[in-house]
Amino acid sequence: MLIIEGGAVSISSCTDINQPGYYTIAANITGVQLKEGSGFSYCIGIFTDGVVLDGLNHSLSHNDVLGRAVGVSVQANGVTIKTCYYADIHSASRFSAV
């Protein structure tokens, strides 16, 4: 779920980010999404340039039974991820420049 608060977009569940902007993680999040055709799962996907993701000291963890989950999948340029923690994640972040 995405909620706009004071200019920042607040994230409270696994989601994809497709618009530039400032995003914050509202609470610890557990979950995964499967990237179709890729064979890997992730919680937050960033698919546009110009994103700041501020974890606000919250954590991302997965419930992927295969244990191959990525916390944040980034397929864009000019992305900043800060103060985000990862628990039970195979790889914290996966970056692919466009």
Residues 6+ apart with CB under 8 A from 13: 1, 29, 31
Torsion angle of the four alpha carbons 28, 20, 2, 47, in this order, in degrees rounded to the nearest 10: -70
Q: What single letter denotes the amino acid at residue 25?
A: I
Place of tokens 């972040």: 93
pTM of the model: 0.80
Q: Output the six-digit token pair for 28.
A: 């610890």
User: Which residue do the tokens 């977009």 mark?
Assistant: 9
- 32-73 pLDDT, tens digit each: 887 776 667 888 999 999 999 999 999 888 776 666 677 888
**Boundaries of domain holding 45:** 2-95
- Structurally, the chain folds into a number of domains equal to 1
- In degrees, to the nearest 5, what angle opens at C-alpha 61 toward C-alphas 12 and 76? 70
